[in-house]
Amino acid sequence: METKKRDIRALTKEQLRNFFVQQGDKAFRGNQVYEWLWQKSAHDFDAMTNISKETRQMLEDNFVINHIRVDQMQRSSDGTIKNAVRLHDGLVVESVLIPTETRTTACVSSQVGCSLDCRFCATARLKRMRNLNPDEIYDQVVAIDNESRLYFDRPLSNIVFMGMGEPLMNYNNVLKAIDKITSPEGLGMSPKRIVVSTSGVPKIIKKIADEDVKFGLAVSLHSAIDEVRTSIMPFNSTFPLKDLREALEYWYSKTKNRITYEYVVWKGINDTQEAADALVKFCKFAPSKVNIIEYNPIDDGEFQQAHGSAVEMYQNTLERNGITVTVRRSRGKDIDAACGQLANKS
């Protein structure tokens, strides 16, 4: 049945307190309910055991809790877990739990589908349906934190916004979600353990730099040569490298946070010394490091992982120039949970 009840988690704490005052109750009741909604992540009003039955019914009559539901959980042979997450309107996104010896990282989605058009990414083939709300982002994190406690006996330690969608095209809700995740009234996680990954939207990078944010920024660069980048990430023609560079310099001047560049080396696309030299040059504009990530094939072989020798060439070139570089192995490939593979296949 369709209802027009409001999403209670769209209210701020102050609004919730005011609501209770208007109902002739105490403002403090708002604090209690707020705690249930965020810190305790209640899925329904009946779970709020220190709230009277009548009040719970009153809340039920006025509001809904649009909690996400993990519809399906897949486990990779390497321990990676992929959640298919159903939203209140029936749409589905995916999030991934990536365990290492010492950490559990949550890779969360920020949009249903994606509005960008990176030619090597499976998510780009899904139409962008809508932005996720702050609580839908928060819930993905809570679900993975619970799974980490259950299967790995430890809480979640890190979060990367590298799931479906372009976080900076939904930055308002992403920032609100991060506020909740880092607040003591939410999960109380350190913003230093959060990385937002973007294809590079210069205007928004500057905007969030102005907001004095404390999380890390990763940029999916993949090429530091405009023509090449535009051919694999067509929106680069709207946001060329010169603008991106300027925004990143601004980001560093404001946040003093080193930038991470994500980079895949593909056969015949960017596996040349010239391309590596261009990357070195780009890295010098602002303090940065490079993560070379393995390509996860999504199609008929239009894109192919470059030879190991090309990756080594990149590594040597970067290191020779004093730039930190790490080469990352893919995780969760067997369940289509690796970078660029999230496409709601199941």
Please check whether residue 43 is in contact with residue 67, taking contact to mean a CB–CB distance below 8 angstroms. Answer: yes
Query: What are the respective helix, strand and coil percentages of the chain, to the nearest 5?
Result: 40, 20, 40
Stretch that binds ligand SAH, among 3-11, 44-52, 134-142, 191-199 (CB under 6 A): 191-199
User: Which residues are 92's β-sheet partners?
Assistant: 86
Task: Report CA dihedral (84, 86, 92, 94) to the nearest 10 degrees.
Answer: -30
Q: How far is the CB of 244 from ligand SAH (least distance, A)?
A: 12
Q: Which residues contact 241 (CB under 8 A, 6 or more apart)?
A: 224, 225, 226, 229, 282
User: Which residues are 266's β-sheet partners?
Assistant: 305
| Position 296 contacts ligand SAH (CB under 6 A) | yes
Is 132 known as a binding-site position?
no
185 flagged as catalytic = no
Please check whether residue 261 is in contact with residue 289, taking contact to mean a CB–CB distance below 8 angstroms. Answer: yes
| Position 177 contacts ligand SAH (CB under 6 A) | no
With respect to ligand SAH, which residue has the nearer C-beta, 56 or 119?
A: 119
* Rg of the chain (C-alpha set): 22
Please check whether residue 298 is in contact with residue 340, taking contact to mean a CB–CB distance below 8 angstroms. Answer: yes
Mask of contacts with ligand SAH, 153-172, x by CB under 6 A?
A: ---------x---x------
| Position 270 contacts ligand SAH (CB under 6 A) | no
Mask of contacts with ligand SAH, 22-61, x by CB under 6 A?
A: ----------------------------------------
User: Which residues are 292's β-sheet partners?
Assistant: 263, 327
Instruction: Take residue 176 and report the two structure tokens written for it.
Output: 């609100």
Please check whether residue 187 is in contact with residue 151, taking contact to mean a CB–CB distance below 8 angstroms. Answer: no
Q: How far is the CB of 324 from ligand SAH (least distance, A)?
A: 17
From candidates 140, 182, 198, 288, binder to ligand SAH by CB under 6 A: 198
| Position 228 contacts ligand SAH (CB under 6 A) | no
Residue nearest ligand SAH, Cβ-based:
340
Is 121 known as a binding-site position?
yes
Instruction: Take residue 251 and report the two structure tokens written for it.
Output: 């980001």
Is 222 known as a binding-site position?
yes
Please check whether residue 194 is in contact with residue 234, taking contact to mean a CB–CB distance below 8 angstroms. Answer: no
d(CA 296, CA 341): 7
Stretch that binds ligand SAH, among 22-30, 55-63, 183-191, 197-205 (CB under 6 A): 197-205
With respect to ligand SAH, which residue has the nearer C-beta, 95 or 220?
A: 220
d(CA 105, CA 148): 9
| Position 311 contacts ligand SAH (CB under 6 A) | no
Please identify which of the residues 35, 60, 94, 319 carries the catalytic annotation: 94
339 flagged as catalytic = yes
Q: Which residues are catalytic?
A: 94, 339
Would you tell me which residues interact with ligand SAH (CB under 6 A)?
118, 120-121, 162, 166, 197-199, 220, 262, 264, 293, 295-296, 298, 339-340
Q: Which residues are annotated as a binding site?
A: 114, 118, 121, 165-166, 197, 220-222, 296
